[in-house]
Structure 1
Amino acid sequence: MKFLRSLALLMLLVFVSPITVRGWGVDGHFITCKIAQGRLSQKAVDAVNHLLPDYAEGDLASLCSWPDHVKFRYHWSSPLHYIDTPDNLCTYQYRRDCKDEDGVMGRCVAGAIRNYTTQLLEYGKQESQYNLTEALLFLSHFMGDIHQPLHVGFTTDRGGNTIEVHWFTRKAVLHHVWDDSIIETEEERFYESNVENLINAIETNITNVWADQVQTWENCSRNQKTCPNIYATEGIKAACDWAYKGVTNGSVLEDEYFQSRLPIVNWRLAQGGVRLAANLNRIFG
């Protein structure tokens, strides 16, 4: 059974091509999942290793971008990567905002996190109606997505995807700046273009600079396994306070924007990783 699951996932990965994504880019998802891996309980490590296909060799981070690559095949999954909120209100409400373009409730990243958490709670039962390997990969990816501020953005500009800017001398859209450009520039300037060095720096901040915040990040209200409404509410606030602020079509974003927004990006990556680990630890006991 595990061989067949591994083969099916491998075939999906072989026949995909890069597509436009909403949420962190490849490095952002890798960072989030790598941080989470280092914080898993032994029970969670065992469950994750059992669910991952063999070729992943126990490395969850290596497959955390998989849900972006299969959107062309799983068309139904595209709306699950983001939340569109009313322009300029800078608030999120589940019943108002968590729906797709056809108005189907629950079809947003917050609803997806709830759904795949519920599916994974069937782990260990003799039979499950769900593909728990896919549930693990979707949940891990969406926990990263919901922490990218523009992933909970405004409806009209599609989370910054229609706001054209210059990132230093290169043309980009604002959403891509937050997906990739800030992280890539940070890696180039400070970490010799090595994502592992950046991960080490963020993990150091988790145990030092942000140590007094970590327990709050990990906690969930009313004994729930996951709290995506909290993550989404933080996301739209960060989008308004930092991502959108001072930016219009044609803006040139250079050092001032980069240096002031960089701490927010690293903070959200850290929160996503810590919370993913906490969620998986609660799920797998």
Structure 2
Amino acid sequence: MKPAVLLLSATITLASAISQPVHAFGQIGHRIIGELAQNNLSPTAQSNINTLTKGESLAQMSTWPDEIRSDKNWYHASPWHYVSIEDDETWDTVKRNPKGDIIESLERYEKILIDPKTTKKDKWEALAFYVHFVGDIHQPLHVGHSHDHGGNKVKLKWFGDDTNLHSVWDSKIIEHQKLSYTEYTGFIERISDKDIKNWQGKSYYDWADESKALRAGTYELEKNRDDQPDLRFQYIFNHTPTVELRLQQAGIRLAEKLNVIFGQ
């Protein structure tokens, strides 16, 4: 391949990577949520879901919506993974993306899952997206500021390596624990009945409002001696409880929703 073509190809690849939002909670985070939800399904819901997925677990299918993002047939789904709203905006005043957003997508896929006329193929896709988006909406930066693309434009260092704020909340805090998704689920699934009761019965807008309220704290950045954002152990210590709370809430709420949808 000629040098000019190589340069053009590299430029296009880089531009594509920059324009694509980072995946919420990463593979491990989404699988934790799926595993936690699976462990809290009713027997009826579990049986009906197994029939649809042919035994594929929620953890397995939870990452499919990220895996297809490089497929041009699914480029239109990119806006579905997040919603942008500023601090002084409300859901009545914010200008929503006409191409869809995460709240619209959760509402749409819930209707598809409930509809008895939905084909098995469409229902499987709807379930995979639904599982994934329940995780996405609980990541604070997926209910983000439009000016910095949910923290994607906030460049910083993670233990000295270049990254961005969104990536830290997607995966780096979770991956720092060096646990598999099943181990991590086991560590955080001791949840009181009181907490479960308090978390259930909320709307998608309530979930989004929680993320919106939490996101200000994500910008409290640890700095190095050169006064550059360089996140290390203190940031992990400060924010791991929030990350784990959102994983727990997403898993419990996903189970709650699926128990209703597949509980008949």
| TM-score with structure 1 setting the length | 0.78
Where 2:176 maps in the other structure, the secondary structure is helix
Cα deviation 1:36-55 (Å, max 9, x = unaligned): 00001122112211221x4x
Answer whether contact 2:137 2:207 (CA < 8 A) is retained: yes
Q: CA deviation at 1:180?
A: 0.6
Aligned position for 2:114: 121
In structure 2, list runs of 5 or more residues that go unmatched: 1-19
Deviation at 1:72, TM superposition (A): 2.9
Cα–Cα, structure 1 residues 261 and 83, in superposed 2: closer, same or farther, change >3 Å? same
Residue matched to 1:183: 174
TM-score scaled by length of structure 2: 0.84
SS at match of 2:30: helix
Distance 2:180 2:262 in 1: 32
Is the Cα–Cα contact under 8 Å of residues 28 and 180 in structure 2 kept in the other structure? no
- Matched residue of 2:215: which SS? helix
**1:167/1:200 CA distance change after superposition, 3 Å:** same
Checking the alignment, whether the CA contact within 8 Å between 2:159 and 2:231 is kept in structure 1 is yes
Rate the CA distance shift 1:67–1:96 in 2: closer, same or farther, 3 A: farther
Aligned partners of 1:120 and 1:70: how far apart in 2? 20
Give the structure 1 partner of residue 154 of structure 2.
163
Q: After TM superposition, give the deviation of residue 212 of structure 1 in Å.
A: 1.9
Q: CA deviation at 1:261?
A: 0.2
Q: Distance in 2 between matches of 1:47 and 1:71?
A: 28
Distance 1:32 1:253, change over 3 A: same
Q: Is the 8 A contact 1:81 1:142 kept in 2?
A: yes
Which string of whole-angstrom CA distances, capped at 9 and with x for unpartnered residues, describes residues 156-190 of structure 1? Answer: 0000001111111221100000001000112x3xx
Deviation at 1:69, TM superposition (A): 1.3
Give the structure 2 partner of residue 33 of structure 1: 34
Aligned residues: 238
Matches of 1:35 and 1:97, distance apart in 2: 33
Contact 1:161–1:173 (CA under 8 A) maintained in structure 2: yes
CA contact (8 A) 2:21 2:149 kept: no
> Which ranges of structure 1 fall in alignment gaps of 5 or more residues?
1-18, 221-226
**Correspondent of 1:212 among 194, 197, 200:** 194
Q: Is the 8 A contact 2:221 2:231 kept in 1?
A: no
CA distance in 2, matches of 1:99, 1:128: 27
Letter matched to residue 167 of structure 1: W
What is the alpha-carbon root mean square deviation over aligned residues? 2.1
Of 21-30 and 132-141, the range deviating more from structure 2 = 21-30
Give the match's secondary structure for 1:171: strand
Q: Is the CA contact 1:152–1:236 (under 8 Å) kept in the aligned structure 2?
A: yes
How far 1:75 sits from its partner (Å)? 1.3
**Equivalent residues in 2 for 1:87-236, closer than 5 Å:** 89=87, 93-97=90-94, 99-100=96-97, 104=98, 107-122=100-115, 125=116, 127-128=117-118, 131-186=122-177, 188=178, 193-204=179-190, 206-207=191-192, 211-220=193-202, 227-236=203-212
Is the Cα–Cα contact under 8 Å of residues 222 and 234 in structure 2 kept in the other structure? Answer: no
Which of the two has higher C-alpha Rg?
Answer: 2
Q: Select 1:58's aligned residue among 56, 59, 74.
A: 56
In the aligned structure 1, how far is the partner of 2:94 from the partner of 2:260? 27
Contact 1:120 1:283 in 2 (8 A): yes
